[in-house]
Chain A
Amino acid sequence: MPKPSSKTQNRKPDKHTRNKRNASQPSSSRPGYPFAAIVGQDEMKLALLLAVIDPTLGGVIIMGHRGTGKSTAVRALADLLPPVRKVKGCIYGCDPKRASELCDDCAARLARDGKLVSQPASVPVVDLPLGATEDRVCGTLDIERALLEGVKAFEPGLLARANRGFLYIDEVNLLDDHLVDVLLDAAASGLNIVEREGISISHPSRFVLVGSGNPEEGELRPQLLDRFGLFTRIETITDLDQRVDIVERRDQFERDPASFLRRWESEQDAVRGKITRAKKLHSRVSIDRGLLIRVAELCLKLKVDGHRGELTIARASRALAALEGRASVTDQDVKSVATMSLRHRLRRDPMERIGSGARIGQAVGELFPTAPRAGKLAAIR
């Protein structure tokens, strides 16, 4: 391979580093900015929380201006997620309670021993860097073991690491096409099927896809766009007070992260508590049939293709009700989530690019005329 062309001298001699192989790689030693301290951008924060409460929603895509806290918010999620139980020793982190979603190893162990030993573990938030190669995304032959031991072992990739967690792609619209294909396959089936370099294996890979990007950098493939449950737009905050808050908090955080985190710990705890309670309540939240019919009418009126629109609104509004501690979905819930659920599902009209949000808002207003918009998005405050 080509030598780096830099003329840097006096470099440390350790030009080569030993490749540490551990499945749960620490993403960064630096503490992250706390979610609770993120100023404004309510729609984005709400969408992310809904995706946490209901992972079947299909993830979130956040598109908009640069420097508005997109990746800060996504990375901050990791610190909010309640721990889950995973099968001990399983590289995919299988859920011992869901027999149908076990990997081959765990399924064999269950058949053999009649039980699976589990342990608490954190939910992974895995970064898919743009320069990643396909072998690292899907997993591939473990070269080291092949060379040293002569065995054909599987080296799991990012799709394995992201199982039961979040897979985050910043600048998602710049992702290579072949990686997009791999992601679409895995996202659709919940399985990562690897057929390469003599390896033939499939393993569970259920993840919540979170993407962010700036629309100016490029278009997103419609198939990929459709995979995301919620689409949120983000813009530069123009409120002066909020802008000052942003700069002030960021400054405090960068000067002394430890004490900043301490100061925000109770707020963080409040959000964590809300998430934990909502996840418990979620399965019991009901949605009225009449309301569902109006949701279907809304999608019909907006000419949304397929049923993913209704389904997403139903799921998102249930998650929102759970987040607010209610056991049934209200009109207001539907109104709060309709735009982010449908924004990317309207038929593309090249002549009106910004119009989709307004079109949805108008249709929602006609079909859900009740209650003034008081306390909008109160859930995340």
Chain B
Amino acid sequence: MNYSADDVQSARRLGYPFAAIVGMSAARRALLLLAVDPGLKGLLIQGAPGSAKSLLGRSFRELTRCDRSTSPPFVELPPNATEDQLLGGIDLESTLAAGESRASLGALARADGGSLYVDGVNLLDAASANNIATALEDGIVRLEREGLSESFSSRFVLIGTSDPAEGDVSANLRDRVGLLVELAVDDSVAQDVAIIERVLDFDKDPAGFIEAFEVEATATRTLIENARLRLPRIAIGREDINRVAQVATSLGVEGNRADIFSVRAARANAALAGRDSIADEDIVTAIRLVLLPRASTIPPKPQPHSEMQETQPDDSPQQPETGEPELQKSGMAGEKDRTPIGDLIIEASGSMPPNGALGGEMS
């Protein structure tokens, strides 16, 4: 098939299609949730070099595209960006030409209505990380610089990737973003080969590649569209919120934002599944993508000397071992006839292999 130069250009611009991504179910799920509810504010993907994290992060552009050639703003920010580039500043050239102060928009304002992508989000300096965190929270950039006093709308989702070997992501940023995923480098050679083949195919013929995945891409877009429409209808009761809060408490999660994000994630997950109410699997997904990565304590796990033993099933998978190895007296008590939250946590930490939330070994 032949494509016009325009086709090729727009295909390159949209980038590698989401539908062509192999494996990485947790991260793909996270991107879908984010596409359904931008109120989740963002996704941080952690992984070793070569874990395809950038491919994944950038595929969000294609996932949220409007048509064959356009997408909402997708602004790539280099981690060493200056404060001007991020916040905006005075545009000297045009100020002098016009004889009145003119601002040039920074990345935060340009990402309004779309997404901000940072490859190496852990390499941002503290000031940049905090400026992004503030904009995420306020949906607005306040520019008080160089004689300019303005504010710009800045509602965007942040997609960041990081290699843990190069340092941690700013704690403030992690706090303001809903979804956190850690990628494991995949051992399966077959999957590795599949990824490489596909990327090569895309590079060779981007327009044809996108065309080949068009049917799947259309199905995914319809799924997202429908989920967005359904989202406002989904009721979440006190009981569900209570379970989320219990899990958050037992994992020692800081602050209340994670609780709020969890509820959003559960709701978006239900919307994707075409349900109008929250099911266990929605809560499990929320725990998996929002709460577990923020755990500061390990919830009670089945150990011979544990007092909590009776609340845990004997054949449960091993819990991840990172973090403070501190057993916590649970908020596990008091659940009704629902699935005990201990089970939900265990299911969440074992689900969607092979991506360990806390970097631990997963069954």
Contact = CB atoms under 8 A, between A and B. Distances in A.
B249 interface: yes
Nearest to A7: B76
Interface residues of A, number: 66
Given A5-B81, A18-B100, A131-B131, A243 B146 contact: no
Nearest to B102: A16
Contact of B134 (A28, A66, A170): A170
A130 B140 contact: no
A329 to B, nearest CB: 34
Interface stretch (B212-220, B254-262, B277-285): B254-262
B44 to A, nearest CB: 15
B244 interface: yes
A5 B244 CA distance: 41
Most buried by B among A8, A128, A148: A8
A71 interface: yes
Contacts of A100: none
Interface string B157-169: 0000000000000
Contacts of A144: 99-101
Contact of B249 (A129, A135, A140, A238): A238
A10 interface: yes
Interface stretch (A19-27, A295-303, A308-316): A19-27
Interface string B125-155: 0110011001001111011111111111000
Contacts of B245: 240, 243-244, 247
Given A131-B83, A136-B145, A244-B241, A148 B94 contact: no
B259 A246 contact: yes
A236 B102 CA distance: 43
Interface in A119-166: 127-133, 135-137, 140, 142-144, 147-148, 155, 157-158
Contacts of B101: 19, 143-144
Contacts of A372: none
B103 A6 contact: no
28 contacts: A1-B84, A1-B91, A1-B92, A1-B104, A4-B104, A6-B76, A6-B110, A10-B70, A26-B151, A66-B171, A67-B175, A67-B256, A128-B144, A131-B87, A135-B147, A136-B149, A140-B147, A144-B100, A155-B147, A171-B172, A174-B130, A216-B171, A247-B244, A247-B245, A247-B260, A248-B238, A251-B263, A255-B232
B127 A131 contact: yes
Interface of A: 1-2, 4-11, 15-21, 25-28, 30, 65-69, 71, 127-133, 135-137, 140, 142-144, 147-148, 155, 157-158, 170-171, 174, 214, 216-217, 236-238, 240, 243-244, 246-248, 250-251, 254-255
Contacts of B77: 6
Contact of A66 (B102, B140, B254): B254
A7 B131 CA distance: 21
B110 to A, nearest CB: 6
Pairs A-B, 8 closest by C-beta atoms = A67-B255, A67-B257, A136-B144, A132-B144, A19-B101, A243-B245, A66-B175, A129-B142
Nearest to B259: A247
Using C-beta atoms within 8 Å of the partner chain, give the interface range for chain B. 35 or more
B139 to A, nearest CB: 7
B144 A251 contact: no
A69 B146 contact: no
Contacts of A10: 70
B236 interface: yes
Contacts of B144: 128-129, 131-133, 136-137, 157-158
Nearest to B116: A6
A213 B115 CA distance: 26
B89 interface: yes
A239 to B, nearest CB: 9
Contacts of A255: 232
Interface string B237-274: 01001101110110001111111100100000000000
A170 B130 CA distance: 10
A134 to B, nearest CB: 10
Contacts of B241: 244, 247-248
A69 B256 CA distance: 8
B208 interface: no
Contacts of B143: 129, 131
Contacts of A65: 254-255
Given A1-B84, A66-B257, A240 B242 contact: yes
A21 B105 contact: no
A280 to B, nearest CB: 34
B13 A133 contact: no
Contacts of B73: 8, 11
B242 A16 contact: no
B256 A214 contact: no
B107 interface: yes
